[in-house]
C-alpha cells in the first residue's frame, strides 16, 4: 500500500510524504507502548536533486518490515509545491525535513539521504541530535564542488532535447545518448523516466530546471565538513565505486564523523540504490538493525 500524507514545510510550502507499506506489525508480548504495543522507529528517506520519493519505493518496502518508512517529496520536486518566489536554500530544505518528521511523528528516527538529500539529512542531524538516532549518507561529497561544476550543470540542462516524444525517448537519452555519460546506464534512464510528466507537446520534467540550479547553487560553493563533524549519531557513508564520491573523500568523511562507518557498493554509480538494489540493502540493512530499534 502507498499512502500519501500532506505536511506543511517552511514558509507554508505543502509537501507530499509517502508511506509505502502498512506499518510493521508489533508483538504484544514484547511491546511497551500504549495498549501493549511498541511503536516502530521511523525512517525518513530524502531523495537527491531532481529526484522524488518514489525513487525510494524498493528501499521503503523492505524497511517497512521493521520500521515506519516514509519518503518525502522535497520542495520543487515530485508532488510537492514548487513555489517560484520562495527560497530553495539549505535552510529551507532542512527546515522542511524537520517539519515533516515532527508532523509525521517519526522521531526518534533514522535519516537516509541520497546526494542533496544526504546533505539535508546530515545538516538536520547536526541541528537536532535529539531526533536522529542513525544516519545514512549515500554518495554525497562534503567538499565544495565550485563554480565550474555549476556552469557545467547549466550547459547540461540546456542540452536536454525537451520535450521528449515518448518515455522510451527519455530512457534512451538519459541512459544512452546523454553526452555526459561515459557509458550506457539503463538505470539512469529509468530514474529520469520517473520524473517526467506528459504535457500537450510531449514529456517534460516535473521540476523546473531553473529551480534545480537555484537549489544546487546554495551548496556547491561551500564545503560542509564542519556540519559533518557535529553529527553525533552512528553514520554510514556509502559510495558507489563509479559514483561521484571518491574513496579518499568518503574515508575522510568517516574520519571526521564521531561515529562514522564506511561502505562501498561494487558496480554502482551515483544512483546506488537504483543501480544495485540488492547490494545497497546488504550494506544498509545491518547498519540500521544495529543502530535503530525495530519490530517484527
Q: What cell numbers appear for 290 in the block?
A: 544495529
Strands 196-199 and 202-205 turn out to be antiparallel
Q: What is the pLDDT of residue 83?
A: 93
Sign of the four-CA dihedral 79, 215, 48, 92: negative
Which pTM value belongs to this model?
A: 0.94
Q: What is the pLDDT of residue 195?
A: 98
Q: How far apart are CA 175 and CA 193, in angstroms?
A: 10
Closest among 62, 54, 151, 72 to 117, alpha carbons compared: 72
Q: What is the pLDDT of residue 32?
A: 46
Decide: residue 199, CB within 10 A, 0-12 exposed, 13-18 middle, 19+ buried.
exposed
Buried b (16+ CB within 10 A) or exposed e, 42-73: bbbbbbbbbbbbbbbbbbbebbbebbbbbbbb
Q: How far apart are CA 201 and CA 173, in angstroms?
A: 18
Q: What is the pLDDT of residue 1?
A: 84
pLDDT under 50 in the chain at which residues?
Answer: 27-36
Amino acid at each position: 500500500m502507498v499512502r500519501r500524507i500532506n505536511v506543511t514545510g517552511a514558509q507554508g510550502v505543502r509537501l507530499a510524504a509517502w508511506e509505502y507499506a502498512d506499518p510493521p506489525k508489533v508483538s504484544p508480548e514484547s511491546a511497551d507502548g500504549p495498549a501493549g504495543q511498541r511503536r516502530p522507529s521511523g525512517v525518513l528517506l530524502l531523495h537527491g536533486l531532481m529526484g522524488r520519493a518514489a525513487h525510494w519505493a524498493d528501499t521503503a518496502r523492505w524497511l517497512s518490515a521493521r520500521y515506519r518508512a516514509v519518503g518525502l517529496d522535497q520542495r520543487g520536486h515530485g508532488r510537492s509545491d514548487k513555489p517560484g518566489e520562495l527560497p530553495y536554500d539549505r535552510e529551507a530544505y532542512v527546515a522542511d525535513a524537520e517539519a515533516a518528521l515532527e508532523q509525521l511523528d517519526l522521531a526518534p528516527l533514522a535519516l537516509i539521504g541520497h546526494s542533496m538529500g544526504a546533505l539535508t539529512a546530515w545538516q538536520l542531524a547536526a541541528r537536532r541530535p535529539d531526533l536522529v538516532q542513525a544516519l545514512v549518507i549515500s554518495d554525497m561529497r562534503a567538499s565544495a564542488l565550485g563554480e565550474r561544476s555549476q556552469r557545467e550543470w547549466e550547459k547540461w540542462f540546456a542540452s536536454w532535447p525537451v520535450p521528449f516524444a515518448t518515455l522510451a525517448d527519455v530512457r534512451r537519452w538519459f541512459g544512452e545518448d546523454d553526452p555526459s555519460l561515459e557509458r550506457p546506464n539503463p538505470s539512469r534512464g529509468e530514474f529520469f523516466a520517473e520524473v517526467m510528466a506528459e504535457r500537450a507537446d510531449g514529456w517534460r520534467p516535473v521540476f523546473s530546471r531553473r529551480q534545480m540550479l537555484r537549489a544546487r547553487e546554495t551548496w556547491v560553493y561551500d564545503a560542509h565538513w564542519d556540519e559533518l563533524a557535529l553529527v553525533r549519531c552512528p553514520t554510514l557513508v556509502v559510495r558507489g565505486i563509479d559514483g561521484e564520491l571518491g574513496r579518499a573523500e568518503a574515508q575522510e568523511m568517516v574520519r571526521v564523523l564521531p561515529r562514522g562507518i564506511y561502505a562501498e557498493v561494487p558496480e554502482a554509480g551515483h544512483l546506488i540504490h537504483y543501480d544495485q538494489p540488492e547490494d545497497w540493502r546488504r550494506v544498509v540493512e545491518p547498519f540500521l538493525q544495529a543502530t535503530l530499534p525495530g519490530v517484527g
